[in-house]
Structures are given as structure tokens and as C-alpha cells.
Amino acid sequence: MVPKERIDKILDGYDLNNITIATLCSHSSLQIFHGARKMGFNTIGITISHDTKYYEAFPLGKPDEIIKYKDLDDMEANVDKLHDKNVVIIPHGSFVEYVGPKRFEDYEVPVYCNREVLRWESNRDMERQWLTSAGIMMPRAFTDAREINEPVMVKYHGAKGGRGYFIAKDYPDFKMSVDQSMPYSIQEYCLGTRYYLHFFYSPFKNTGYKLKRGGSLELLSIDRRDESNIDEMYKLGSIEDAKRHGLYPSFVVTGNTPAVLRESLLPKAFTIAENAVERSYELFNGMWGPFCLETVVTDKLEFKVFEISTRIVAGTNPFISGSPYADLIYPGLSTGGRIAMEIKESIKNGHLKDLMT
């Protein structure tokens, strides 16, 4: 992990009137660049293999400059050019996945997040420890497959975007589908409606929904993911029928649709997010900026949180020009815009170092 002192030293050399916001050309980059531009920042798109021609189709989301590296070693070795341009990185989900957690930890450019959070988020046991010790209800975990007595979700470690996950109804069903050569975890299949809640925690804002430790929590938007092929599986009859024809359900994200919660659920949603933030400061110096609680709401109106993403998620993309929630705080602002606003405020108030690791 890059020592915090090293990042602070890099920031000491920056021209704070000329900060550039950069991210990898994928995921939510259109929104990040659009938001950064709105707040007056320069923008850089970083790429190795990503196609960047699509930016031509969206001039307001196009970065001012694109830097194309040969490979990850090239990217890691050439950080000086980014320092010269006063670059801060906005890490999105694909950024960390693409460069890998180890390189991300060691990348010598200031990033807007607490890099320590990654360890807690990417290890399912540690994530569970964090959230359950914050009093948050998660799907029940099974340590022994022979104890499966209800529908469960089997998740291979390192599987991304739900690819390779499967549902089993009992132990024989599990045995039929499992690939024992890969590590996996088993959890209760939560039946209900999925909501992906996009929160933003500002440690410095002192108005709005205040936390005990200080700072303010915002709910900026909510989405539901479109997942292939599980979303349309019902059209073929039962999953068992489909399996007989060699068609197995998968949970690969292909897009996102906007959602809102019934209003009476908002207090619970805020309490869960608040507890996750408060506990993060007790465990590992905190989580700030955008994060997403991935939840199922049961017919008892209880939230079960099956995952937390501690950076901007692609589910915020339907809200580039605002959302039913953001519009009640900052009309027309996206999560990308909110990130840029936070960085701008922190520069003005001398807090930039506190947000960068």
C-alpha cells in the first residue's frame, strides 16, 4: 500500500488551482467526466485496451485528454506525467477490477477513497464482519453444504458481476452444480425486491442528515440491475425445466434501471447506511464519498444487505442529470458531479489531503 505520507507529499507538489480529475475509460466515466467538467475541473481518461471512440458520441462526457498506456506496467511506471498534471483518480468498480487490488493499493497517484477499505470489501468474511458488527442484517451464511435446507445462492470467490453464481434448493441440487475446484461461499437466497442504494458520505458537510461522528449522509439515487439471463428465465417455465435443456441461470449485469423506495422505508435505509459508515471508522479509518448498499427488501419490509460497494457504482448512470433524491438536495447533480463538488469544496477549505489516500 502506498504510504499516506507519500500521497501527501505528492499533493504538496500540486497546483490546487489546476487539479485534474482522471479515471479509467469505462463503467461510469462519462458521468465522472461530465460532473468534473460541470465543476470546472480538467479531465483525463486513462486506458490500456478500452475503446474510446464512443466518447465522440457524447461530447459533454468526453475527457479533455486520453492517455493510452501499453500495459499495466507502463501505467504504473509513468505516474510522473499524472503528477505534473495534478491528477487525482476517481476509482470506480471497473478501475479496481481492471488493475487488480494489489496494483491499485500500490498505485502512486492520489485516489479519492480510503484504500484500506478494499481489504474489507473484497474479502467476504471481513465484509460480513464489518456489516454484521454494525447491526446490519445480511443473508444467512452456510458453512456446511449438507445443512442447506432452503434455497441458497452459491458464490464463487473472485467471480465478477454474478457470473458463475448459482441457486441450489438442497444438498443434492448443490452437488449437481458445484465446481469443487474453486472456493465458494453459500448464503441464503433472499426472496424479495432488489434495490441498490447510492449513498454519499461527506465527512465535512455539517447540514442535512448528520452522523454522530460528524459529517453528513446523502441518498443520491437508487437503481435496480438488469441481470442476464435470470431476469427473463421465467419465460421458459421453471428453472428446473430450463436446466434440462442445458440452460442455467446467471446474474451478469447488462444495464441498470432507475428505482425509488416506498417512502416509509427511507428511515431504515438511512439507519443501515449510517451504521455502515460509523463502523467503518471504528474498524479502518472510515469510508467516505460514494458507496452502494446492495439490498433485497423482503415482504416483511426488512432490508437484507448482500453486498457493499465502496465507490461509485454503474447503477448511478441513469442519473446523469439528477434523480428523484438528488434533486431534493442538489437539483440536476449526478454522483459524478457530487464527487467533483466534494473535491472542489475540500480544496477551498484545505481538506483535500483528508479525502485522498
Residues within the interface to ligand ATP (CB under 6 A): 139, 153, 159-162, 165, 187-190, 194, 225, 227, 251, 253, 294, 296, 306-307, 309
Nearest C-alpha neighbor of 63 from the set 19, 29, 102: 29
Least distance CB 140 / ligand ATP (angstroms):
9
Handedness of CA 128, 130, 133, 137 (dihedral sign): negative
Cβ nearer to ligand ATP, comparing 113 with 343: 113
CB of 292 to ligand ATP, least distance (A): 8
Find the shortest distance in angstroms from Cβ 300 to ligand ATP. Answer: 15
Helix (H), strand (E), coil (C) string for the chain: CCCHHHHHHHHHCCCCCCCEEEEECCCCHHHHHHHHHHCCCEEEEEECCCCCHHHHHCHHHCCCEEEECCCHHHHHHCCHHHHHCCEEECCEHHHHHHHCHHHHHHCCCCEECCCCHHHHHHCHHHHHHHHHHCCCCCCCEECCHHHCCCCEEEEECCCCCCCCCEEECCHHHHHHHCCCCCCEEEEECCCCEEEEEEEEEECCCCCCEECCCCCEEEEEEEEEEEEEEHHHHHHHCCHHHHHHCCCCCCEEEEEEEECCCCHHHHHHHHHHHHHHHHHHHHHHCCCCEEEEEEEEECCCCCEEEEEEECCECHHHHHHCCCCCCHHHCCCCCCHHHHHHHHHHHHHHCCCHHHHEC
With respect to ligand ATP, which residue has the nearer C-beta, 162 or 258?
162
**Nearer Cβ to ligand ATP, position 163 or 175?**
163
Nearer to ligand ATP, 86 or 309 (CB): 309
Q: Is the CB of 19 or the CB of 312 nearer to ligand ATP?
A: 312
In the bound state with ligand ATP, the residue whose beta carbon lies nearer, of 72 and 159, is 159
Name the residue whose CB lies closest to ligand ATP: 162
- If the CB atoms of residues 191 and 247 are measured against ligand ATP, the closer one turns out to be 191
Least CB distance from residue 278 to ligand ATP, whole Å?
Answer: 23
The answer to whether the beta carbons of residues 24 and 94 sit under 8 Å apart is yes
Question: What grid cell was written down for 123?
Answer: 474479502
Closest approach of Cβ 311 to ligand ATP, in Å? 11
CB of 130 to ligand ATP, least distance (A): 15
Beta carbon of residue 187, minimum distance to ligand ATP (angstroms, whole number): 5
Q: Least CB distance from residue 137 to ligand ATP, whole Å?
A: 11
Residue placing its CB nearer to ligand ATP in the complex, 159 or 242: 159
